[in-house]
Amino acid sequence: MHIIAVINQKGGVGKTVTTVNLAAALDEAGHDPLVIDYDPQMNATDWLMGREAEEDDATIFDALASWDGKESDRWPLSKISRSSESVGVPFVPSDSRMAAASFDSVVGRSPVFPQQFRCRVQELRTSQVRTNSNSDASYDFCLVDCPPSLGRSVATALAGADGIIVPIHTDRFSMRGVMQLQDTIKQIRKVHNDGLQILGLLLNNLDLRSNMVNEMREKFEEIYTDILFETFIPWRSKINEVATRGENIMEYEGASDAASFYLDLADEVVERSRTAATAR
């Protein structure tokens, strides 16, 4: 199982759209993805749940805050993942307590901080091995939709992840953002997770009619040759529509060209994850 965090400290760059559409594409390609919503804004949860979350829905926060490594545990990820009627991909919902204040006071209190997510993921791996990989609850890709920050909560996600995908826009500020992010990754590697790899930067939301966007794209290709995905995602109204309406891009009317970008991305993600796993 490959754990992939979708991160960028900026909001509105396409983390949620990438997470959910990539999961739909992986599913379409015959894989078994699981989406984990780590963002207190709960955009992925709204999309996948197809209704407003309710108070008694178990969430990623319950899994993190309750972890104590005991058998009596109520909230392992395998128990709180649920199926998505709208998209057909299993997911773990988020809730507003994943916001910095409550996250720090509850999750940060534990002496094992920030290992909760890592431990939860490890449990999921082990339980899958135990129940054999043909069972329903068997995932080969776990995509974590992170909030727009590089704070503590994202650090816990990175501590448990194998790789990251970074959706970015083609502007100057994004370039600076990538450098900042590379620093954070170095820190995480040093302190919590030396196996963490950058799977790729994903150029998203490109207006290909703009000369400047095309020039910037070439610049990114020059500078980040080794980590940029070959696939890039242009602006498409259908991508915005599936996100707004909470639909599956693979099945959405008139979205076959948008869907094909995510299938290409899925191929690259599978390939790079395999290479990264053998390098570990």
Ligand X SMILES: Nc1ncnc2c1ncn2[C@@H]1O[C@H](COP(=O)(O)OP(=O)(O)O)[C@@H](O)[C@H]1O
Q: Which residues bind Mg ion (CB under 5 A)?
A: 15-16, 43
Sheet holding 233-234, edge to edge: 91-92, 33-37, 141-145, 2-6, 163-168, 197-206, 233-234
Q: Which is nearer to ligand X, 21 or 81 (CB)?
A: 21
Strand partners, 228: 201
**Residue 255 in contact with residue 21, Cβ under 8 Å?**
no
12 binds ligand X (CB under 6 A): yes
233 binds ligand X (CB under 6 A): yes
Question: How far apart are the C-alpha atoms of 68 and 80, rounded to whole Å?
Answer: 16
Q: Which is nearer to ligand X, 124 or 178 (CB)?
A: 178
Q: Which is nearer to ligand X, 1 or 216 (CB)?
A: 216
* Only segment of 22-30, 74-82, 111-119, 229-237 that touches ligand X (CB under 6 A): 229-237
**Residue 90 in contact with residue 142, Cβ under 8 Å?**
no
Show contacts with ligand X in window 138-157 (CB under 6 A).
148
Pick from 40, 75, 44: nearest CA to 246 = 44
* Only segment of 54-62, 169-177, 194-202, 237-245 that touches ligand X (CB under 6 A): 237-245
**Amino acid residing at 211:** N
The least distance separating Mg ion from the CB of residue 56, rounded to whole angstroms, comes to 24
Question: How far apart are the C-alpha atoms of 129 and 228, rounded to whole Å?
Answer: 33
Buried b (16+ CB within 10 A) or exposed e, 189-228: eeebbeebbbbbbbbbbbeeeeeebeebbeebeeebeebb
Pick from 260, 223, 258: nearest CA to 238 = 258
Q: Which is nearer to ligand X, 1 or 5 (CB)?
A: 5
**Residue 7 in contact with residue 164, Cβ under 8 Å?**
yes
Q: Which is nearer to Mg ion, 16 or 21 (CB)?
A: 16
The least distance separating ligand X from the CB of residue 52, rounded to whole angstroms, comes to 18
* Only segment of 45-53, 67-75, 172-180, 228-236 that touches ligand X (CB under 6 A): 228-236
Q: Which is nearer to Mg ion, 15 or 236 (CB)?
A: 15
205 binds ligand X (CB under 6 A): yes
Site string for ligand X, 238-277 (x = CB under 6 A): -xx--x----------------------------------
Residues of the shown chain interacting with ligand X in the complex, contacts defined by CB under 6 A = 11-17, 43, 148, 204-205, 233, 235-236, 239-240, 243
